Copies of this chain bind each other. A is one copy, B any other.
Amino acid sequence: MRQSQLFTKTRKEAPSDEVAKNAQLLIRAGYIHKEMAGVYSFLPLGLRVMNKVIGIIREEMNAIGGQELHLTALQDPRIWEATGRWDDAAVDNWFKTKVKVGGEVGLAFTHEEPITRLATNHIRSYKDLPFSAYQFQTKFRNESRAKSGILRGREFLMKDLYSFSRDQKEHKRFYERVIGAYKKIFARAGIGEQTFVTFASGGSFSKFSHEFQTLSVSGEDTIHICEKCRVAVNDEIIKEQNACPDCGNKNLTQEKAVEVGNVFTLGMRFAQALGLSYLDEKGEKKFVEMGSYGIGPGRLMGVVVELLADEKGIVWPTSIAPFAVHLIVLPSEDAAVGESADALYEKLCKAGVEVLYDDRDLRPGEKFADSDLIGIPTRIVVSEKTHAGGKFEVKDRKSGKVEMLSESNLLSVLKTL
């Protein structure tokens, strides 16, 4: 895309009321727009990153057999009353609204209830199980605090996966597959090294649930890492047992972290409350064992920004960058310089490389500052100097390493990305 056509502009300062680093950088670089506290719109660059994150998660959900669907935001009180979660005394972050023709509806903060009721229309026999279904859907949470940018909002996108199994053993097998899929997702998104499977309280149905926690100085959570096992325990668990649940190691390292995903055993709680049962091989009625598994793609994006940014701006991993290449042409009296940049842009597009082409009429310093702020992994500069030398200047955003490459070398390097 030609940057002269991109309607968003960078800005030198973040809004004065924005305290979160992720939001400050993302707003300054033109990725997001703050509508209200905890409510952010995604601008063209931001939506591109979001779609990359969604694409990675979708591939890994499909790989474990998840079937994608799309539930609604508006929620029928009846199913939430059946599980005891409609009352504001039970759930303190509902948004509720009145229907003109009478009655009240809620805005979904999660989707266990509707997907359980939905499943009752399709599940009869043991032959219909197991299955799992997931969605990317907006959640609404009436949070009292909303100062963490896109890490914790009142409205945010969530990937939520739900599993339906015949028994605990079948459930446990799928649960472990989700943990494997989540590890792949965080590794592909560039934060695998800093992300720990973390033991958390399991609720009524299992000893533990699991969180995925990513180290971050701005994290709201504290985790206790077992370096030997590369797992962690959260603050709840450390009070009960001051040791790694895997190896018993008591020498744990305390760190601040952000929860980027969770996997949870639901047992038969929702199935019993909403009548989701099946007939087993003997014709006996059994309730379905469920699990739920969440990742917030926006939060993941925000964590990546917080973790990898440097003093100049955002540093995207290639896998979720809005573009692979930021091509910059510097102003010149010599028309051949611009023509050479135009030609390279066309060639890169034809080769399937995603390019943001800074063809704007701006000073070099402004272009470089914008490029550092936006954080596209590879920068290519075309100038009088590079044009005279017959090569292109290629700079890696993360390492700062600069190379001079011929066009053919450049194209072969970019094809490996």
Contact = CB atoms under 8 A, between A and B. Distances in A.
A252 interface: no
Nearest to A27: B121
A76 B40 CA distance: 12
B70 A144 contact: no
Contact of A144 (B40, B101, B133, B143): B101
A44 B69 contact: yes
Nearest to A78: B36
Oligomeric state, in copies: 2
Interface string A46-67: 1100100000000000000101
Contacts of A122: 7-9, 30
Nearest to A44: B67
A319 interface: no
**Could you say which interface size class chain A belongs to?**
35 or more
A95 B128 CA distance: 38
Contacts of A68: 44, 47
B7 A72 contact: no
Contacts of A105: 36
A47 B74 contact: no
Contacts of A50: 70
**Which of A76, A101, A114, A155 has most B Cβ within 10 Å?**
A101
A155 B72 contact: yes
Contacts of A266: none
Contacts of A214: none
A73 B155 contact: yes
Contacts of A33: 118, 121
A399 interface: no
A71 interface: yes
B7 A74 contact: no
A24 interface: no
7 contacts: A36-B105, A41-B69, A42-B69, A46-B70, A47-B69, A74-B140, A100-B144
Given A7-B122, A41-B70, A43-B118, 9 more contacts: A5-B67, A5-B131, A6-B67, A41-B114, A74-B140, A97-B97, A100-B143, A100-B144, A101-B144
Interface of A: 5-9, 11, 30, 33, 35-36, 39-44, 46-47, 50, 65, 67-76, 92-93, 95-101, 105, 107, 114, 118-119, 121-123, 128, 131, 133, 138, 140, 142-144, 154-155, 164
